[in-house]
Amino acid sequence: MLRNFRKKFIGDRAFYRMLAGVVLPIIVQNAITTFVGLLDNIMVGKTGTDPMTGVSIANQLVFVFNILIFGAVAGPGIFTAQYQGSGDPDGVRFTMRFKLMICTVMTAVGIVVFGLFRADLVSLYISDTATVGDPAATLQYGADYLKVMMFGLLPFALTQTYAGTLRETGETVVPMSAGVAAVAVNLFLNWVLIFGHLGAPALGAVGAALATVVSRYVEAVIVISWTHKNSEKCPFAVGLYKSPRIPAEIVRGIVIKGTPLLLNEALWSFGIAAVTQCYAYRSLEVVSANNISVTVMNLFNVVFLSLGSAISIIIGQSLGSGKTEEAVDTDTKLLFVSFASGIVTGAVMALLSGVFPQFYNTEPEIRELATKFILAVAAGMPVQSFLNACYFTMRSGGKTMITFIFDSGAIWAINYPLVFCLIHFAPNMPVELIMLCEQMSGLIRCVIGLIMVRRRSWVQNLSR
């Protein structure tokens, strides 16, 4: 029994060596980026509750744009990994052109929306029932921060296009190195611009936005320049901009498989924003505490999210090269690794739940509530880890319509109605208990995801 279990779910040394080669650079990049995001959040939090809350609201809106970009490159990315697996650099080049085109259009739309409606969007998350903080000041901080962040949308989109393609073709170190450099720049400029060191003015929240924008340009320049200077390693970059041509059959395939992914990311991000707005209905204190817990959650989510990216790369390349049985066996082990990582990271997160809120210069009641939120999220970490692995498994084989229903469909059919009803119709229910209920609602999707993965309908070669 134990031998069969180990054979099915536990890989050998070669398996973990292969996994480490793919996932560790992604974890390092994401971890450093997220950790600096935590430091960024703490630095702004040192200037007071109002700027911290305003920045967190603005970042929620930027998060929606970021997720839309992820969705835009995810569809072509499925084909990129499989074309790489089949040894077709022309196919990789065509998919990258598609990414560049759609990301350019989406960036233009994002700039227009944030330019015209930023104050209105920030105000959606501000409740007049606050007993801590100034709603008007929070609105101003959020709008000013978002105004500066608009200038970072284009380099972010370009970075995701290039870095995503590099990862899908097996080059994970360069995006990691670019991310580390950007993080170093961001951290240094945060220290200078937020607090006014080295003779610079103390810009507070606006300084944090300026630091982020500059770091995004640094990351984009590194990734783009390396790609075009190393054409022998990146043959897809040769002639990338000579022509906008993309074969009709590839466009058709990407649109069919990619549109559900883009819609999924759009509806998912809107759903997360809507759920966050439900929590904001309680008070600004809840918004501030949730900001702290989400920042900490993002730090611990790095492991299972990076494993999801690894699943899409490893399984996608196996399917593209026609090794279907190997893909199924590898995926089973990756699912187990992801679930186990959720248990470990959730336990560590729970142990440190009371530590992180103490770094913020905010009211004691907000720190206490943030601790409770972190505990609720930690309890759901294994559930979210397994869900993420199931999602990327199905996506690697192009089952994007199923992932659409599985992911964003569940947010709007389960999470949002659950939180909305409990927030509005159970006013005496502690908000941290509501968050725990939301986390545990993912158990329903775990069962559905396991059934879908075991059916093996995702096992298909799209590069043919």
Task: Return the pLDDT at 130.
Answer: 52
Does 30 fall in a domain?
yes
Q: What is the pLDDT of residue 151?
A: 94
Local confidence band at 72 (pLDDT 50, 70, 90 cut-offs):
confident
Range from 44-53, 83-92, 419-428 that averages highest in pLDDT: 419-428
CA angle (447 as vertex; 443, 448 as ends), nearest 5: 115
Lowest mean pLDDT among 48-57, 166-175, 372-381: 48-57
Which pLDDT score is estimated for 170? 80
For residue 13 the two structure tokens come to 């040394």
Q: What is the pLDDT of residue 459?
A: 76
Confidence band (pLDDT; 50, 70, 90) for 176? confident
**Mean pLDDT, rounded, for 369-396:** 89
| Residue 460 placed within a domain | no
Out of 22-31, 48-57, 357-366, 417-426, the most confident range is 417-426
How many structural domains is the chain composed of? Answer: 1
pTM of this structure? 0.72
Of 254 and 29, more confident: 254
Percentage of the chain modeled with pLDDT above 70: 94
Residue at 463 is within a domain: no
- pLDDT at residue 179 above 80? yes
Tens-digit pLDDT profile for residues 191-249:
999 988 888 888 888 998 999 999 999 999 999 999 999 988 888 888 888 888 888 88
pLDDT score for 28: 79
**Is residue 462 domain-resident?**
no
Domain extent for 294? 2-455
In a domain, 277, yes or no: yes
Rounded mean pLDDT of the chain?
84
- Residue 132 is assigned to a structural domain of this protein: yes
Q: What is the pLDDT of residues 296-325, one digit of tens each?
A: 888 888 888 888 888 888 887 787 777 778
Residue 258 lies in a domain: yes
The more confident residue out of 112 and 179 is 112
The span from the CA of 89 to the CA of 95, in Å, is: 10
| 69 within some domain | yes
